[in-house]
Structure 1
């Protein structure tokens, strides 16, 4: 399967500065089958896709955005909650070029299609940071125009290297052995560079530890201090 980004699809200036200082959360119109999407492969599941349709009531759907996650080759199948969150297993895929160049056991896949797909620009956001609630501005960004679909693995080398149309994530390298939470978004922009709509999903790999917010930690600290004082009074 060809994993090379087509240079003719990449744009370097249309979408500059669109990343937000906020986490990417699940977003879609419907979650289910995306008939006709192959994600440029054979046998890639298309039955659990976060789908967003762009269009007007008069003209109907002009553009369809789709995002999903799936097992790579014969690795364990992913499950999902039916609401944009997928659950995958950590570990290294055994199919070439992995494990020499470590790939994870799962891929993320995206789809842009429709009669009006050429009227918009698109940006694919992807995540190397295993922590929760990674800000969009820390995601990798791939900019392109027109219809495009594929299935990629976070272990692929090109995703970590800056090139025209691609800004890598602000977080080291992807480690397929780590448990964590990874978020993805596929956004469409009009001619003025304003976001029109998006699809977004989250992939939870292994057991993800919930880290308390700073306010929660402060309350916990006060609670422990109060408990200690109470115990001292009882002595």
Structure 2
């Protein structure tokens, strides 16, 4: 019975972790490298252990800094007609109009920046000239990612996007891969503290769904669990505990 309870708990957690996966197109009929090809291309010694459809992180809506409180961000790829105007940055989940741009339209693969949030929500960044207070203040230390393009801004929080579409996917390391990022210089392990974040730059329902339009690598950041997911998991575990107590009785 104990093993059954553990299995049920794992199944419940797995269900919550995969409930919102979005389809990523891997066909390259348009002649562009797919997101899967991009990940395979930065992987040393073979194909990536990541499957862009099966291994999406969930949740990936809201994030926070970890470790030192500073998150390095490296521009990996941008395959888009709007490459010259697309921009990437962070925003305040409690006030999405409060934003800070990390990479502008002129950024190219290999570009590097660092950002972090102080305990009062102040955004600090190093875009090449040393760390400084950007003058942008968030309401907390949480943040989301955004991509701005021609006529639209897309957010990591799906509820902020047109038709509630999922415009961003994220993938966590820790599977034993080594990667060679543009501009990095040397291959290094892709640890669980590193994330690939990739955006689709057209409204999802009208797009080619390739998510290769802007790809970045981020370290020392972690998704914030969604309250609804935690509540659901808590209810499920409580139910399993009650069943266990009844079994003992």
> Shorter-normalised TM-score: what interval?
0.3 to 0.5
Question: Which structure has the greater CA radius of gyration?
Answer: 1
Give me the TM-score of the superposition, normalised by structure 2: 0.33
Which has the larger share of helix?
2
Query: What TM-score do the two structures reach when normalised by structure 1?
Result: 0.34
